[in-house]
Structure 1
Amino acid sequence: MRLDKFLKVSRLIKRRTLAKEVADQGRISINGKVAKASSVVQVGDELSIQFGQRIVTARVEKLQDSTKKEDANGMYTILHEEKMNTFE
């Protein structure tokens, strides 16, 4: 499944176009490698997504073409969240 579609269906990012923009900015990585919106996501992959000053790392648990809002959380497991240091 494409990365941008997974992010939308799982509701990690609400819109597919927004998921594509975030990926094109280099703010998403799959298993430690910067990913494009068209990158293929598989069960077991670790996604790191930069949301502003926060980085969320999640593991892909299952792939579905569509899902209900209440079932979307089952598609991934949040491994950890961390705030980026703004002081350099």
Structure 2
Amino acid sequence: MRLDKFLKVARVIKRRTLAKEVCDSGHATVNGRVAKAGLEVKPGDRVELNFGSRKVIFEILEIKETIPAKEADRLYKILE
């Protein structure tokens, strides 16, 4: 699954267009490498997002095309 789509499905970022902008502006890394929106992610990948002064680091646990909002946090585990 594409990184921008995962961020939207997992409800880390509300809109896919915003997720794409965050990725393409260089504020996202996957496994320590700068990631573009089209990067294919898989379970076990470590994602780091920089939102200004705030940094979110999480590990992808599961990939699903759709999931209810209440269960979206099961797709990843926040590390920092």
Which TM-score band (shorter chain)?
over 0.9
Q: Does 1:75 align with 2:55?
A: no
SS at match of 1:70: helix
Q: Which amino acid aligns with 2:69?
A: K
Partner secondary structure for residue 79 of structure 2: strand
Which residue number corresponds to residue 22 of structure 1?
A: 22
Runs of 4+ in 1 over 2 A off after TM superposition: none
Structure with greater Cα Rg: 1
Displacement of 1:63 in angstroms is 0.3
Distance 2:22 2:65 in 1: 21
Provide the secondary structure at the position in 2 that maps to 1:13: coil
- SS for the counterpart of 2:23 is helix
User: Which runs of 5 or more structure 2 residues have no equivalent in the other structure?
Assistant: none
Question: How far did residue 51 of structure 1 move?
Answer: 1.2
- Over aligned residues, Cα RMSD in angstroms? 0.4
TM-score (norm: length of structure 1): 0.90
Match status 1:56 vs 2:56: yes
